[in-house]
């Protein structure tokens, strides 16, 4: 264990703000009205839902696994504010895992086993990384996919409880994406100042990583093409929207970090001149 300081700085204001927001926004599966009648009657559609939700439950468990694993990693670099936030992110993913497990009980169905859905497992495995920036850019693809699927579940509204679950998860996902932005932005703000060439290399690497993870999403969605069609979800449109949004979000965070670094550099170079003018 490495703790460099007993008294943490806790000076990253936005990290602290999103951590407090996450603390105040917690909710529980036991708050939901599980006794509401199931909106799906057809056995065929129940079977299809059982298969379609497989990557969702797999993704929630993979997220719980990887978020929890990053908490000690951030401790090694004394990123205590980020550690704080990730404790709530882990709680969120644990809640999502519980929600979909209970939803499977409600459906009376089981998810596909890994041997019948290796594409989903390969997609999730590609996201795991011990490097926070690398993990955050890979996880952007699965978080955006989850967000799009929850929006679709809300739109088709085939079961009142699934709609409630989607509503709650969308609020959680908005925070996860918010933290992703803050962390990558900060990373680039610092790196551009310290080593601009390393910042350029990291930008290229993170985009390559997003493309690599995204390529594995295609086969996972293909395997569930018929199930998505049964619900009126367009697989091609979903895939295209995910890559556009994930790449756009990553670039926005990087550009914003670069702008902040340039602004700080401009203020620093103006300070001596302002001091002379004040005399």
Chain residues that interact with Fe ion, rule: CB under 5 A: 60, 93, 96, 143, 176
For the CB of residue 59, give the shortest distance to Fe ion in the complex, in Å. 7
Q: How far is the CB of 265 from Fe ion (least distance, A)?
A: 34
Residue with tokens 């409630």: 164
Distance of CA 65 to the CA centre of its chain: 13
- Minimum CB separation of residue 4 from Fe ion in Å reads 30
Residue number of the CB atom closest to Fe ion: 96
| CB 62 to Fe ion: min, Å | 9
How far apart CA 209 and CA 26 sit, in angstroms, is 31
Q: Which is nearer to Fe ion, 79 or 93 (CB)?
A: 93
- Contacts of 47-51 with C-beta under 8 Å, sequence gap 24+, read 47/109, 48/226, 48/227, 48/230, 48/231, 49/107, 49/109, 49/158, 49/227, 50/104, 50/107, 50/109, 50/110, 50/111, 50/112, 51/111, 51/112, 51/224, 51/227
CB of 202 to Fe ion, least distance (A): 23
Q: Residue 176 or residue 209: which is nearer to Fe ion going by CB?
A: 176
Shortest Cβ 56–Fe ion spacing (Å): 9
CA distance 17 to 21: 6
The Cβ of residue 44 has, within 10 Å, a number of other Cβ atoms equal to 9
E strands in 136-186 = none
Cβ distance to Fe ion smaller for residue 60 or 186: 60
The residue among 93 and 227 lying less far from Fe ion, judged by its C-beta, is 93
Instruction: Name the residue nearer to Fe ion (CB basis): 127 or 133.
Output: 127
Please say which residue, 48 or 180, places its beta carbon nearer to Fe ion.
Answer: 180
């Amino acid at each position: 264990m490495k703790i460099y300081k007993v008294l943490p700085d806790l000076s990253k204001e936005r990290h602290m703000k999103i951590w407090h927001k996450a603390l105040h926004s917690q909710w529980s599966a036991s708050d939901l009205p599980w006794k509401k009648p199931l909106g799906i009657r057809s056995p065929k559609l129940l079977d299809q839902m059982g298969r379609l939700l497989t990557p969702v439950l797999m993704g929630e468990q993979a997220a719980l696994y990887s978020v929890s694993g990053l908490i000690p990693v951030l401790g090694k670099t004394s990123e205590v504010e980020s550690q704080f936030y990730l404790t709530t992110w882990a709680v969120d993913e644990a809640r999502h895992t519980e929600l979909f497990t209970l939803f499977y009980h409600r459906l009376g169905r089981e998810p596909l086993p890994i041997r019948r859905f290796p594409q989903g497992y390969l997609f999730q495995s590609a996201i795991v990384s011990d490097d926070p920036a690398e993990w955050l850019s890979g996880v952007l693809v699965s978080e955006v996919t989850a967000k799009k699927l929850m929006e679709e579940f809300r739109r088709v509204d085939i079961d009142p409880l699934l709609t409630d679950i989607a509503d709650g998860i969308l609020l959680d996902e908005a925070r996860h994406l918010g933290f992703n932005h803050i962390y990558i932005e900060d990373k680039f703000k610092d790196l551009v100042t310290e080593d601009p060439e390393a910042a350029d290399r990291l930008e290229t690497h993170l985009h390559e990583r997003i493309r690599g993870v995204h390529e594995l999403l295609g086969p996972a969605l293909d395997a569930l093409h018929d199930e998505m069609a049964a619900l009126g979800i367009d697989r091609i449109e979903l895939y295209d929207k995910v890559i556009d949004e994930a790449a756009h979000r990553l670039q926005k965070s990087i550009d914003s970090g670069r702008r902040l670094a340039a602004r700080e550099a401009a203020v620093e170079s103006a300070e001596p001149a302002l001091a002379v003018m004040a005399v």
